[in-house]
């Protein structure tokens, strides 16, 4: 709810040189307390680290995507993983968060970014996380896509400008 409020505020964007490596490391450290999080291999492959963007919005995006990847890990798999990759295409930065978790049914893909939509609720989610992520990405003039299969995992791809606000 606090993140939703922050995203919705009509405040002046704060653009600065941001380290994706630092944001990801902080997000990982914040999520180590999740149940069984220490049993998930989290790897980074960062072809781009620094960009000019809104640090608060990027933190919200990374935190929510990482949180979901951990919460919806497939406990039946011996080797669980999350891979966070970054790369550039022209003036754009792509951030990918991929896991081998529970996955999302194809019929839900078009609705997962709606406010309060939950695919399966065993007290794991409120239906706000991906909505907030999508709003933050829109505020950065970007977009997000999902590729997911049940029992295989999910990959969220965020595309944002490398020089937001400049």
Write the DSSP assignment of 6-32 as a string of letters.
Answer: HHHS-----EEEEEHHHHHHHHHHHHT
| Bigger pLDDT: 115 vs 98 | 98
**Rounded-to-integer distance, Cα 42 and Cα 37, Å:** 9
Please tell me the pTM assigned to this model: 0.90
Q: What percent of the chain has pLDDT over 90?
A: 76
Looking at residue 161, what is its pLDDT? 97
Structural element, H or E, at residue 109: none
Q: Which of 116, 20, 102, 93 is nearest to 63 (CA)?
A: 20
Q: What tens digit of pLDDT does each residue of 110-161 get?
A: 999 998 888 765 546 677 889 999 999 999 999 999 999 999 999 999 999 9
User: And the tokens for 71?
Assistant: 């919460």
| pLDDT over threshold 60, residue 10 | no
Q: What tens digit of pLDDT does each residue of 24-76 get?
A: 999 999 998 888 888 999 999 999 999 999 999 999 999 999 999 999 999 99
Mean pLDDT for all residues in the chain = 90
User: And the tokens for 120?
Assistant: 């399966």
């Amino acid at each position: 709810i606090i993140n939703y409020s922050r995203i919705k505020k009509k405040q002046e964007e704060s653009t600065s040189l941001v380290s994706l490596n630092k944001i990801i490391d902080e997000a990982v450290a914040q999520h180590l307390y999740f149940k069984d999080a220490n049993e998930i291999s989290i790897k980074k492959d960062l072809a781009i680290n620094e960009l000019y963007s809104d640090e608060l919005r990027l933190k919200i995006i990374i935190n929510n995507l990482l949180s979901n990847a951990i919460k919806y890990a497939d406990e039946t798999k011996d080797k669980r993983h999350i891979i966070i990759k970054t790369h550039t295409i022209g003036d754009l930065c792509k951030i990918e968060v991929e896991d081998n978790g529970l996955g999302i049914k194809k019929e839900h893909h078009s609705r997962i970014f709606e406010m309060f939509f939950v695919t399966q609720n065993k007290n794991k989610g409120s239906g706000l996380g991906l909505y907030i992520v999508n709003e933050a990405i829109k505020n950065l003039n970007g977009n997000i896509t999902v590729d997911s299969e049940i029992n295989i995992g999910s990959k969220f791809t965020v595309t944002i400008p490398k020089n937001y606000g400049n």
